[in-house]
Amino acid sequence: MTLEQLNCANKDEKNFDCDLAIVGGGIVGATLACALKDSGLKILLIEAQTLEKAAAKKQAYALSVLSGRIFEGIGVWKDIFPHIGKYSHVRLSDANFPSIVKFQTADLKTDFLGYVAEHHVVLKALQNFIADCSNISWLCPAEVEGVEYQKSVATISVTVEGELRQIRTKLVIGADGARSRIRSLAEIKTRGWKYWQSCVAFTIKHEAPQNDIAFERFWPTGPMGVLPLPGNRCQIVWTAPHERAKALQELDEKEFLTKLEEYMGGLLGRLEMASDRYLFPVQLMQCDRYTKPRLALIGDAAHCCHPVGGQGLNLGIRDAAAIAQILKEAYQAEDIGDLQVLKRYERWRKQENLAILGFTDFLDRLFSNNWLLIVAVRRLGLWIMQHLPPLKIFALQLMTGLLGRKPELARR
């Protein structure tokens, strides 16, 4: 059955009764569904957009080594791997300071240090995988109007083509992003702040003969991440104060490329735009709690971090793998919507996520300033990291997801 046929078939049904309803059919929500393919659970994915529109988002992400292993454990990596960028080196630098921290695969004894994937590549692969899973269904486009949580069931009110439907489920998963409707309806509070910065994200083509290096170039105005994509392209996320970022987005293309080449220091040779420039603000957010009876939050619905280091999506993928493992272990003997079951997921992921949120916040604040004492300290720190292998390996393990508890999917 094709995705279109599956989508239309679901619209013909008036009600769903399922074990698990995942609200949000993006990469994180779809990853959770795929991870539960052999669980015995009947799963419903509720997505506000059509499958085609959801997959058409113009964005690319860093995927960590651990995320790759999770996708491999699920069985979808073979459909993703051939179409993404891979990098074997990372170069971390502070503006034009000559001491550069260089990471390479020998430091971790892995084939790659990370990957770079366009949104449509990952989500389409997950959607195609789901199409062959008999225990997973889609309901889209559909808007959640409300959720009623009761002792043994949660009832979701959903509007589909103007018609209100009721879905009864044992557990609701909120995977619907930073502005989560599910989180809001559950009145779960969040803590955090909006940064003074926004990001300009875009893709370029370049002339450099080597395209397996990821760069993190720190500037007093904010970090610049440069990630290799197939076809001698790179995804760039350029962070700057709001007004400056807006000005960069609106700058004439020729002037923009001139400024970009200046900030790149000629590392990639002559550059050419390969996409539009997209602007988004940056925030740090952590929910007070990830779970309530019959409810769990994953991905950006539970936490958001600064994009420095490319950690955001990877945290969500780890959330999905972790809660999938908890639900598989509990399904035969316990009620999967029971708070004691869901707390196992929260204990596993909340502190690990908080550590990454703190790490990315520290990096941004440490490097996004011109205070002479801090500049001296951080540059000394870079020199020490480059010349002290244990510290360098620790930082690399943190960035690649290889520190902390690993889900079983990543160990297959």
Pairwise CA distance, residues 394 & 392, whole Å: 5
pLDDT of 5 > 50? The answer is no
Pairwise CA distance, residues 268 & 90, whole Å: 14
Helix (H, G, I), strand (E, B) or coil at 387: helix
User: What residues are paired with 44 via a beta bridge?
Assistant: 21, 137
Q: What is the pLDDT of residues 361-391, one digit of tens each?
A: 999 999 999 999 999 999 999 999 999 999 9
The pLDDT confidence band at residue 266, using thresholds 50, 70 and 90, is: confident
Pairwise CA distance, residues 197 & 283, whole Å: 9
Pairwise CA distance, residues 159 & 137, whole Å: 17
Q: Write down the pLDDT at residue 16.
A: 54
Tell me phi and psi for residue 244, to 5 degrees: -65, -40
Q: Write down the pLDDT at residue 99.
A: 87
CA angle 112, 116, 122 (to 5 degrees): 115
10 or 239, which is more confident? Answer: 239
Q: Write down the pLDDT at residue 165.
A: 93
Cis peptide bond prior to 141, omega within 30° of 0: yes
**Which domains, and CATH codes, for the chain?**
3-191+283-411 (3.50.50.60), 195-281 (3.30.9.10)
Mean pLDDT of 383-410: 93
Strands across the sheet with 114-118, in order?
Answer: 60-63, 114-118, 85-87
Distance linking the first and last C-alpha atoms of the chain: 29
Q: What is the pLDDT of residues 105-146, one digit of tens each?
A: 999 999 999 999 999 999 999 999 999 999 999 999 999 999
Closest among 135, 141, 188 to 165, alpha carbons compared: 141
309 or 14, which is more confident? Answer: 309
Q: Write down the pLDDT at residue 218.
A: 95
Q: Write down the pLDDT at residue 261.
A: 93
